[in-house]
Structure 1
Amino acid sequence: MNPGRLGSIGLAIAFLSLAVPAHAATIEITMENLVISPAEVSAKVGDTIEWINKDVFAHTATAKNGDFDVTLPPKKSATSVLKEAGTVEYYCRYHPNMKATLKIEP
């Protein structure tokens, strides 16, 4: 193979690696001892939220604006992919004192 062509291929591969979009993050939110932790989370559209219920009773992650309503049986987890930017306040329907905020950036 021509050495000049090999250099061009290497340069093309280097540029392609820079053009690959960033991977979405997975963010863990835990419900334990009737507390949502962390109570405030920043994320981006496309990120995945992993809701983890460590309690012995069921919880929900219910958005006040209706964006999501995740039911979490005891000692189980679930995931949601964030689709829209904005600030979402949410709570547990079974334990309304459990409240948190999710700030989603574009």
Structure 2
Amino acid sequence: MSPGRHLTTLVLLALGALAVPAHAATIQIVMENLVVSPAEVSAKVGDTIEWINKDVLAHTATAKNGDFDVTIAPKKTVTSVLSKAGTVDYFCRYHPNMKAVLKIAP
């Protein structure tokens, strides 16, 4: 391979690496024994939250600022994709002592 062609290949490989979008993460938040765990999560816009309810009671993940309100049936999992950056305090409407925070980066 000529030096010029080798350089072109390297440039194309580098550009291809830059064009690959970052993979969104899936983050699990568990509700069990009337506790949200973890109580504080850092995530990014585009990440998926798996809300896992291990209790025999229904729960919600209700943002205090109105950004989301997810209902999770007993022994079920619900997913939602984060679409907005910011720090969001949320709680369970049925059990207001269940509180947590999502820190969502752009």
**TM-score under structure 2 normalisation?**
0.89
Aligned residues: 104
- C-alpha separation in 2, matches of 1:15 and 1:103: 31
Q: CA deviation at 1:18?
A: 3.6
SS at match of 1:13: helix
**TM-score under structure 1 normalisation?**
0.89
Percent identical residues: 73
**Residue pairs, 1:15-54, within 5 angstroms:** 15-54=15-54
- C-alpha separation in 1, matches of 2:79 and 2:103: 17
- C-alpha separation in 2, matches of 1:80 and 1:59: 15
Q: CA deviation at 1:98?
A: 0.2
CA offsets 1:47-88 (integer angstroms, 9 cap, x no match):
111100011111000111111110000110111111111110
**Residue pairs, 1:53-92, within 5 angstroms:** 53-92=53-92
- C-alpha separation in 2, matches of 1:50 and 1:35: 15
Q: CA RMSD in A?
A: 1.5
Q: CA deviation at 1:92?
A: 0.4
SS at match of 1:49: strand
Moved >6 Å (runs of 4+) = none
- C-alpha separation in 1, matches of 2:98 and 2:23: 31
- C-alpha separation in 2, matches of 1:33 and 1:92: 13
